Amino acid sequence: MNKFVNFKLAVLLAMIACAITVYGQDNVIDEVVWVVGDEAIFKSEVEETRLDAQYQGRRIDGEPYCVIPEELAIQKLYLHQAVLDSIEVPEAEVIQRVEYMTNQYIQMIGTREKMEEYFNKSYTQIRETMRENARVGLTIQRMQQKLVGDVKVTPAEVRRHFKDLPADSIPYIPTQVEVQIITLQPKIPVEEIEAVKSQLREYTDRVNKGEIEFSTLARLYSEDRMSALRGGEIGFKGRGEVVPEYANVAFNLQDPAKVSKIVESEYGFHIIQLIEKRGDRINTRHILAKPKVSEKELTEANNRLDSIADDIRNNKFAFEDATAVISQDKDTRNNHGLMQNQRDGMNAGTSRFEMQELPQEIGKVVERMNVGEISKAFTMVNEKDGKEVCAIIKLKSRINGHKATMSEDYQRLKEIVVEKRQGELLEKWIVDKQKRTYVRINENWRNCKFKYPGWTKE
């Protein structure tokens, strides 16, 4: 069902992007090009969706001035049905989507200031527009989910579907691997930790003396690069959305002019400044500093792991047993070291990875390994906290790239059939809904080959 979900997300991103850009167009002479029910579609909406698709590299399959109004009209159908069915989206989910979208735009555009310049609106105005359109997009997602329900298919249906496919239409399954890992976090000298804390105390003193803004220091020095682009601001968060050590201090801050004490978390050391409180959510900014591991400590940790790998190869103990005793990777330690795929896609939540889904350093090592082999120790950056760790891995299994088969790829093939059924259900609903909805299209916008011809009933 992942492609179905990704399609819905793409629609949501396009809607939000379009709405923000339209929001920034003041004093524009506009015209209504479609009416769906009692909702109008404006020329400006179509044009800005087209420009945003161009900006994001989204390919529009057909004439944009035909495809885009039809996409917007379909969204109106879903929203109308959502009102009838009392579909609502929790505020927390909307806020979470706004945070995600804000980060995406800042990543694409560069900084918060550049985003304000791009949309010709203040940061607050942009977020308010995002908030309303996130609600709309998420409502459409929920409406679609309700319409498709829990589609079930039997093995016989999956078999029949692929039996009828031409040979060149059978999907190709890329090489997939299962990987076990043992990691060690090299020891950081006390002197390095004290140096980092001393630097953070200096930042605090400079802010308290009024010499410099906290946000300026965050942009210059914070090692949380995502928030640094926004002057250290992380956006409104609930207590459960940040690590406990951060939450325990941040949620007790009262004065926005004050800087917190130094906070240690799994990511490093922080100082925090309160921006605003809204009920049980707060917006803060922080500066993150990470003590650096020296080459000496990295070498010692790698040597220890190489020694452990030799003992495993000599059958002194098993790799699986070593993970529970030695490994410092909390996500895999109690699962015999077996890595779990956390990326979006068909393998999400399983122990299977396509090569491009593995962390880069692990992928490079796995590519040259045989099944059952244990690697030499190597250094990598932990994707979760950005720290350097040392690791050894074992290649548990490898399924080479191949044309899909029922015996090896049933789950993947089943998902494809389920997606097809979901798409068919939604298409049937759209056709039926068209027949019961008033639609008027501007004369200059009717000369199109629509995906759903029922828009023009004469």
Question: pLDDT tens, 278-316?
Answer: 888 899 999 999 998 889 999 999 999 999 999 999 999
- Distance CA(207)–CA(388), nearest Å, equals 30
Residue 440: is its pLDDT beyond 80?
yes
Residue 1: is its pLDDT beyond 80?
no
The DSSP string of 362-429 is HHHHHTTPPTT-BPPPEEEE-TTT--EEEEEEEEEEEE--EE--HHHHHHHHHHHHHHHHHHHHHHHH
Residue 27's pLDDT is: 44
Residue 409: is its pLDDT beyond 80?
yes
Express as a percent the part of the chain with pLDDT over 90. Answer: 59
Contacting residues for 44 by C-beta, under 8 A, at least 6 apart? 22, 25, 28, 30
- Distance CA(217)–CA(410), nearest Å, equals 53
E-assigned strand segments in 38-138: 39-42
Q: Which domains does the chain have, with CATH numbers?
A: 2-152+417-455 (1.10.4030), 176-187+293-403 (3.10.50.40), 190-289 (3.10.50.40)
Mean pLDDT calculated for residue range 61-70: 93
Question: In the chain, how long is the greatest CA-to-CA distance?
Answer: 81
- Distance CA(82)–CA(158), nearest Å, equals 32
Burial of 44 (0-12, 13-18, 19+ CB in 10 A): middle
Sign of CA dihedral 445, 451, 452, 453: positive
For residue 128 the two structure tokens come to: 């308010």
Contacting residues for 77 by C-beta, under 8 A, at least 6 apart? 36, 37, 430, 433, 434, 437
pTM over 0.75: no
Residue 61: is its pLDDT beyond 60?
yes
Question: pLDDT tens, 374-406?
Answer: 999 999 988 777 788 999 999 999 999 999 999
- The C-alpha angle 127, 133, 111, rounded to 5 degrees, equals 35
Question: pLDDT tens, 105-153?
Answer: 777 777 777 888 877 888 888 888 888 889 999 999 999 999 998 899 9
- Distance CA(408)–CA(199), nearest Å, equals 55
